[in-house]
Structure 1
Amino acid sequence: MPVMGTHIAPAQVADFHQVLADHSRYWGERDLRSLHLLALVQEFGATCLVARGEDGIRGYVFGFVTPDGTGYVHLIATRDDARGTGLGRRLYRAFAEAAAGQGARRLKAVTSVENAGSLAFHRGLGFDAEIVDDYNGPGRAMTVFHRALPLDVPRT
């Protein structure tokens, strides 16, 4: 079912703090608060987006465009009651459009090797996945996703 009444817009500092306050609604038992960097919202506001509804922030994506034209998705999450609605795809599409507007020609994201949900989600969006040894330090392999723009994701 589509998420009705949800508007995607650039994140504000207050949104960042709200996301951290509601962290478990997006990430469950996984504590990823240390990956949430306020500098991303402050310095890359056009590519840090929130999906807001009448009941608060339903999802968000924080990312930026690198100098070589890569739209890098640092974090993307949907709230526990918004999963399975297509909101994650809508957020990715909005990020891809914002990144392309800043000259991005491709997208990149990274996740842990064992994150089956992220693997399935990104593959469903047409990303290629590669396990890169030592990506996150010695002995810390990560799955790295790549795909070219545009991101053709059905609108829901």
Structure 2
Amino acid sequence: MIVAMGIQIAPAGVADFHQVLTDHPRYWGERDLRSLHLLALVQEFGSTCLVARAEDGIRGYVFGFVTPEGTGYVHLIATRDDARGTGLGRRLYAAFAEAAERQGARRLKAITSVANTGSIAFHRSLGFEVKIVDDYNGPGRAMAVFDRDPVVPAFVP
């Protein structure tokens, strides 16, 4: 558990998962990404599914896991609308990287749509390499693929 600036970053539980879905528009705006939120991630990979809690609720979260090949894969990362620009996304990534390294991860990976310029800029600012991979998500569905070595970079200033 990491505590800083009144925010506690800790493993997510089932109740946290349901709260994130209830508050979905606060994290994702008009985009409906509820189908990407898989309770199995929280239940099976609890140590790498983290929430950032404050007195007023969950301000952000990261859901991910470590592959058998040693890749810490970030499936979803989001900050609540009133927590953007505070560095919380960087802190969540740092907490995930530490948890993933404890699970044997040697590198980090994430993906997003090629149209998600905000996510691409964010990952570049964290030192990720970005490649556009054709057909990554099926025929005609290119994705931006992010890779970072080593697993625990200096995400937080």
Please give the range of the TM-score, normalised by the shorter of the 2 chains: over 0.9
CA RMSD in angstroms, aligned pairs only: 0.9
Query: Aligned partners of 2:153, 2:140: CA distance in 1, in Å?
Result: 32
Match of 1:15, SS state, is: helix
Partner of 1:121: 122
Q: Cα offset for 1:151?
A: 1.6
1:90-140 C-alpha deviation (Å, 9 max, x unpaired): 000000000000100000000000101100100000000000000000000
Structure 1 residue identity aligned to 2:126: L
Question: Taking every aligned residue pair, what percent have the same amino acid on both sides?
Answer: 80
Gaps of 5+ in 1: none
Partner of 2:141: 140
Query: Aligned partners of 1:44, 1:151: CA distance in 2, in Å?
Result: 22
Query: Aligned partners of 2:153, 2:103: CA distance in 1, in Å?
Result: 15
Partner of 1:86: 87
Runs of 4+ off more than 3 Å: none
**What count of residue pairs does the alignment treat as equivalent?**
153
What's the TM-score once normalised by structure 1's chain length?
0.96
Q: Cα offset for 1:154?
A: 2.3
What's the TM-score once normalised by structure 2's chain length?
0.96
Query: Aligned partners of 2:88, 2:156: CA distance in 1, in Å?
Result: 11
Matched, 1:152 2:157: no
Partner of 1:14: 15
Q: Cα offset for 1:150?
A: 2.1
Matched, 1:65 2:66: yes
Q: Cα offset for 1:153?
A: 1.7
Gaps of 5+ in 2: none
Query: Aligned partners of 1:150, 1:14: CA distance in 2, in Å?
Result: 29
